[in-house]
Structure 1
Amino acid sequence: MKRKYSLSFIAIVILLALGVTGCYVNNQIGKLKSSDEREGVYSKYSYYSPAKDEFISPKEIISNPEQTTGGNPGFLRFFKTSPNAPEFELPKQVLTKSDFPEVPSTYAAYWLGHSTAIIELDGYRILIDPVFGNAGPLPIIAKRMSVSPLQREELPAIDIVIITHDHYDHLETETIKFLADKNIQFIVPLAVGARLEGWGVPKSKVTELAWHQTTTHGSLNITATPTVHYSGRSYNDKNKTLWASYVIKGEEKNLYWSGDTGYGEHFKEIGRKYGPFDLAFMEIDAWNKGWPNTHLFPEQVIKACQEIDAALLFPIHFSTFDLALHPWDESIGMVADLATQNNIKIVTPIMGEKVIPGTTPTTKWWKPQ
């Protein structure tokens, strides 16, 4: 009889644990508008398919699992420590609120690892793709290879949050909840607003942008532009939300933020319509022959910079998560060498370091000293 009760107790505990985990994951995924709502709002855009209830990439996303460099270990690899992680803690400038000026600079940038950064422009402070923890719906999934130089609780006053798309390594539930009641304008691609609203951000604070649509904030003009990519946070919501790159134009500086993207004709189009650029923040990592047009290969980073007419390259999207089965420093080493060979100026700060791009000297910190 005791054994029967023990087994019943264990079963109840397991069911409760599964229920709690399910609720937690569901909250991490976030909400979406219904398909009828999406169709009614987004069907006017050529890159939305009412029939499939999906947004469409400018180029079809290709997957060649049999060509995956480094093998194809599947999703389970995200539960393990990456064999491509650095064997030492990467250099960083640890930041707290007191390290930021009360009034944001006219022009400065802080790279916080992967695709998270703070840009100060015209006296406004912009936070992009804020992720301070791991990159999955559970804390044990897609662990960071290097601790963030800034914790979300130490964020300074933020004027604008920009989200490129809803993948976990770009949109973090707990950070949005933390920022939800602050006096912040949230700028997101089409359909991502429902995610934020579900986590407590008032609808009045959220601006959804279609590609080539612009919103303003004081002297800043912020325009969403196309990328070759996709979206989704669970097995059944792929491409239900849009993804974007951004043009951020101030009084004197014109900046480009690539978001996640494969190579495509959109770079030439962006260069023609919005260039030249004083600075381009370009993703450089997570490329693999198994998914040949989901992210930029190193030589494509250089080509894209040339096509958008960028005076200075600021590499992002590397050294934090192992998303593509190659050594953590491979991409930055290749891109830096290619930039030199092609006479492209590059700024490579350590995480957390404040730089005035084009003025502050930076080093090849990823190389052994």
Structure 2
Amino acid sequence: MNSKIKRKYSLTFLVLAILLALGGTGWYINNQIGKLNSGDERNEAYSKYSYYSSVIDEFISPKEIVSYPEQTTGGNAGFWRFFKTSPNAPQFELPKHVLTKRDFPEVPSSYAAYWLGHSTAIIELDGYRILIDPVFKNAGPLPIIARRMSVSPLRREDIPAIDIILITHDHYDHLEAETIKFLANKNIQFIAPLAVGARLQGWGVPKNKITELGWDQTITHGSLRVTACPTVHYSGRSYNDRNKTLWVSYVIKGEKKNLYWSGDTGYGEHFKEIGRKYGPFDLAFMEIDAWNKGWPNTHLFPEQVIQACQDIDAALLFPIHFSTFDLALHRWDESISVVADMASQNNIEIVTPIMGEKVIPGITQTTNWWIPQ
């Protein structure tokens, strides 16, 4: 075979390899994005809700989400930053208690919590085990996008027996396709916002295991009452599916404890309304990070975290949504430092476990672990 023919075959092989790689990557990303209901199904299912517009086929936030790129602080907010190592990441591995299945009691306790980083947590209440927004790897459709600043204290393979999974919305830092696939065939009740069920079904969760909730809708599971509530936010996993699914916070009421899980939210009057309808709360898991002047009502600023706790009448604050992904161009420990100080100034009790630490909120003593010793 002469050199000309060899070059031709080599070029053909290279082109085929590139096409296969692109095709494989495209298939992988499409699978990570997940499925949605068809337009007719959506209109029939959701048009009865005042916060859904059949005209534009979108769910509507209680307050319009605004963006001011010229006011963005902290550096370049472009998407390509998520491919790089964050300059705001800690220079050391954050403290954590590494967990395996053996660390969880066979029968869940009456009241305990394990924060696993960002917005992923396990709550034990009334002998049931609840897993919320399970994300154990990165926060994007490819492994190289939005990598964690600190590894999870629990491997996906070591997740203990779970009774309920709560999903607040479909952003990648709250809904991980591989984890849903891993748990799809287990005896778990999945509770998710309206239209998120199609994503779960596409990843293998049987339809009869999924309950979709709109705002102020409730489902019971044994002694637990789970109610979805409004937040000021948005949804989407690709460039063309913004607000095609709903986003929620949750009230989790047991026999003796009443808990609030904020999900992602900007500040708004919905907090006072939630407090009026469902409060007071023994504990509020409240997002504290990813705020920026460039997107002023997508997440809570530190002072708004404090105000929200007061609005809902929460006895105890459990900060979440921080120290794991650099979403807002500020130092990894800035949010927790400011929120902890402001909580002290406002006489709000705060519980701040290291990742993976089992705590009984209000009883277990926690530390300011983010402050260098």
TM-score (norm 2): 0.99
Q: How much does 1:4 deviate? A: 2.1
Partner of 2:124: 120
Q: Does 1:55 align with 2:59?
A: yes
Q: Aligned partners of 2:8, 2:343: CA distance in 1, in Å? A: 68
| Match of residue 94 from structure 2 | 90
Structure 2 residue 78 is the aligned partner of structure 1 residue 106: no
Indicate conservation of the 8 Å contact 1:65/1:72, yes or no.
no
- Residue 6 of structure 1: how far off its partner (Å): 1.3
Q: Which residue of 2 aligns with 1:250?
A: 254
**Identity among equivalent pairs (%):** 84
Deviation at 1:71, TM superposition (A): 2.4
**1:223 aligned counterpart, secondary structure:** strand
Question: What's 1:325 paired with?
Answer: 329
Within the candidate set 45, 48, 52, 1:44 is matched to: 48
Runs ≥4 residues deviating over 6 A: none
Q: Equivalent residues in 2 for 1:143-162 (5 A)?
A: 143-162=147-166
Q: Which amino acid aligns with 1:87?
A: Q
Task: Answer yes or no: is 1:187 the counterpart of 2:191.
Answer: yes
Q: Pick from 307, 324, 339 the counterpart of residue 303 of structure 1.
A: 307
Aligned-pair RMSD on alpha carbons? Answer: 0.5
Partners of 2:311 and 2:322 lie apart in 1 by 22
Match of 1:292 among 285, 288, 296: 296
The answer to whether the Cα contact below 8 Å between 2:77 and 2:329 also exists between their aligned partners in 1 is no
1:70 offset after TM fit, Å? 1.1
Return the alpha-carbon distance in structure 1 between the equivalents of residues 204 and 302 of structure 2. 38
CA distance in 1: counterparts of 2:41 and 2:365, whole angstroms = 50
Does the aligned pair in 1 maintain the 2:119–2:133 contact within 8 Å? yes
Could you list the per-position Cα deviations for residues 26-63 of structure 1 after superposition, in whole angstroms to 9, with x for gaps in the alignment?
00000000111111100000000000000000000000
> Structure 1: how far apart are the matches of 2:330 and 2:367?
22
Q: When the two structures are superposed, what TM-score results if normalisation uses the length of structure 1? A: 1.00
1:121 Cα deviation (Å)? 0.1
Q: Which residue in the other structure is 1:224 paired with?
A: 228
Residue deviations 1:152-203, cap 9 Å, x none? 1001100000000000000000000000000000000000000000000000
Aligned counterpart in structure 1 of residue 83 of structure 2, from 79, 84, 97: 79
Q: Find out whether 1:335 has 2:339 as its counterpart.
A: yes
1:209 to 201, 210, 213: 213
1:237-257 CA distance string (max 9 Å, x none): 000000000000000000000
- Runs of 5+ in structure 1 lacking a partner? none
Question: How many Å separate the matches in 2 of 1:9 and 1:151?
Answer: 39
Aligned to 1:273: 277
**Alignment partner for residue 242 of structure 2, among 238, 243, 248?**
238
| In 2, Cα distance between equivalents of 1:368 and 1:42 | 50
Q: CA deviation at 1:8?
A: 1.4
1:72 Cα deviation from its structure 2 partner: 2.7
Tell whether 2:364 aligns with 1:360.
yes
Distance 1:72 1:81 in 2: 14
Structure 1 equivalent of residue 264 of structure 2? 260
In the alignment, structure 1 residue 282 sits paired with structure 2 residue 286: yes
Hey, what's the Cα distance between the residues in 2 that align with 1:105 and 1:338?
31
1-structure distance, mates of 2:39, 2:371: 49
